C-alpha cells in the first residue's frame, strides 16, 4: 500500500502491523505492486541485495500459477479452485485466469492477513456465470477451511487445491505434510494439487532468508526439491513432475525467464 493510504488502511483494519515486514506485501513489491509499506520495501531491497534473482523467481512463480490454472480449467475440466494463502491481488489472479478460460468456474480464496482481506473484498470479483468467494482462515486450520469452502464449492466434484508459496511458513515439515494430507483427503477423485515453494538450492538465497527470518517476520523455511516432491506423495504428478517453476510447461508468458529458478513446484492428480 502506498504511504499516503497507510493511515486510512490502519484505521479500517487495526490488526495490520506495519512495524515488521510481511511476506505477501514484500512479494507484491517484488512483482511491481503498490500494496506495501516502507518497511516491506526496505526488507525487499535488503533481500535483493543478497539474492538479486528474487524478482525473477517471483515472476516465474506467478507465471507457473497462470499456466497451471489455465491448463486445469481449459484442458482438464476443472471448474472449482481452492486457493489457500492467496496473497495480495495482482495481475491475473486465479479467478481471472480460470474464468477467462471457463466463465462458470468457482473460486474460493483463503488467507488470514487483514490487508489481503481488505483487497480481496474490493478486487476479487467474478464473472456472472461463476462465483468468487473469500475465507478468512489460517492454513493451520484445514478443517475450518474445508467447512467454509464447502459453502461455495461442491466437494462431490473435482477441486484444484492451490498452495502457492505458503507451505514454507509451516516450520515443521511433518506438520506441513499433515496439513496437505488432510486437505487432499477431503477432495474427490479427479481433483488436483498445485503447489510450489522456494528451495534451498542457492547459498545466497539461504543467507537472504536467514536475514529475513531474523528480522522478526513470520519465518519462511526453504526446503529441498525432494521435500517439495514429498507433498505430492500418493498423487499422480503431471509432466514434467516437480521442477523449477520456469520449466513447468513454459509458454510465451515465460519468455525472458532463465531456465532454472529456485522456486520449485508441480501439479498432481488425485485418482
227-240 pLDDT per residue, tens: 999 999 999 999 99
How does residue 242 score in pLDDT terms, banded at 50, 70 and 90? very high
- The grid coordinates of residue 168 equal 514454507
Report which of 153, 194, 164, 197 is spatially closest to residue 69, judged by C-alpha positions.
194
pTM value?
A: 0.89
pLDDT-based confidence at residue 122 (cuts at 50, 70, 90) = low
- Ranking 2-11, 21-30, 182-191 by mean pLDDT, the lowest is 2-11
- Does residue 10 register a pLDDT over 50? no
User: Confidence class of residue 130 from pLDDT cuts 50, 70 and 90?
Assistant: very high
Tens digits of residue pLDDT in 99-118: 999 999 999 999 988 778 77
| CA dihedral sign, ordered 132, 232, 168, 65 | negative
Rounded mean pLDDT, 31-47: 88
Mean of the per-residue pLDDT values of the chain: 89
**What per-residue confidence (pLDDT) applies to 14?**
43
Q: What distance lies between CA 7 and its chain's CA centroid?
A: 27
Mean pLDDT of 42-69: 92
Place of cell 478468512: 136
- Collapse the DSSP code of 251 into the 3-class scheme (helix H, G, I; strand E, B; otherwise coil) and give the result: coil
The residue-averaged pLDDT of 166-174 equals 96
Most confident range (mean pLDDT) of 87-96, 114-123, 215-224, 227-236 is 227-236
Of 61, 35, 57, which is closest to residue 48 (Cα–Cα)?
Answer: 57
Are 183 and 108 contacting, i.e. CB atoms less than 8 angstroms apart?
no
Asked if residues 101 and 70 have their Cβ atoms less than 8 Å apart, the reply is yes
Q: What is the model's pLDDT at position 115?
A: 78
Cα 231 to Cα 226: distance, rounded to the nearest angstrom = 9
Least confident of 82-91, 146-155, 167-176: 82-91
pLDDT-derived band at 172, boundaries 50, 70, 90: very high
Q: What is the mean pLDDT of residues 256-266?
A: 88
Q: Which of 9-18, 126-135, 170-179, 241-250 has the lowest mean pLDDT?
A: 9-18
Percent of the chain whose predicted confidence (pLDDT) is above 90: 66
Task: Give the whole-angstrom CA distance, residue 150 versus residue 154.
Answer: 6
Amino acid at each position: 500500500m502506498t504511504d499516503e493510504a497507510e493511515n486510512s488502511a490502519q484505521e479500517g483494519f487495526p490488526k495490520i502491523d506495519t512495524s515488521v515486514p510481511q511476506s505477501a506485501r514484500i512479494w507484491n513489491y517484488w512483482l511491481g505492486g503498490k500494496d506495501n509499506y516502507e518497511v516491506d520495501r526496505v526488507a525487499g531491497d535488503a533481500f535483493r541485495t543478497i539474492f538479486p534473482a528474487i524478482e525473477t523467481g517471483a515472476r516465474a512463480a506467478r507465471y507457473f500459477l497462470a499456466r497451471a490454472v489455465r491448463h486445469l480449467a481449459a484442458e482438464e475440466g476443472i471448474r472449482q479452485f481452492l486457493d489457500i494463502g492467496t496473497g495480495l491481488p495482482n495481475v491475473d489472479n486465479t479467478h481471472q485466469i480460470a474464468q477467462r478460460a471457463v466463465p462458470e468456474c468457482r473460486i474460493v480464496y483463503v488467507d488470514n492477513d487483514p490487508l489481503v482481506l481488505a483487497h480481496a473484498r474490493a478486487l476479487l470479483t467474478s464473472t456472472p456465470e461463476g462465483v468468487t468467494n473469500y475465507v478468512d482462515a489460517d492454513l493451520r486450520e484445514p478443517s475450518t477451511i474445508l467447512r467454509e469452502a464447502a459453502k461455495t464449492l461442491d466437494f462431490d466434484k473435482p477441486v484444484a487445491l492451490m498452495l502457492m508459496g505458503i507451505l514454507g511458513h509451516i516450520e515443521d515439515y511433518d506438520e506441513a505434510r499433515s496439513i496437505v494430507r488432510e486437505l487432499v483427503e477431503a477432495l474427490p477423485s479427479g481433483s488436483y494439487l498445485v503447489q510450489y515453494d522456494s528451495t534451498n538450492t542457492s547459498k545466497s538465497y539461504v543467507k537472504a532468508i536467514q536475514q529475513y527470518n531474523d528480522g522478526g517476520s513470520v519465518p519462511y523455511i526453504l526446503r529441498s526439491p525432494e521435500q517439495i516432491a514429498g507433498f505430492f506423495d500418493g498423487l499422480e504428478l503431471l509432466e514434467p513432475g516437480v521442477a523449477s517453476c520456469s520449466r513447468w510447461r513454459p509458454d510465451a508468458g515465460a519468455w525472458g525467464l532463465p531456465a532454472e529458478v529456485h522456486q520449485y513446484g508441480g501439479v498432481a492428480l488425485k485418482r
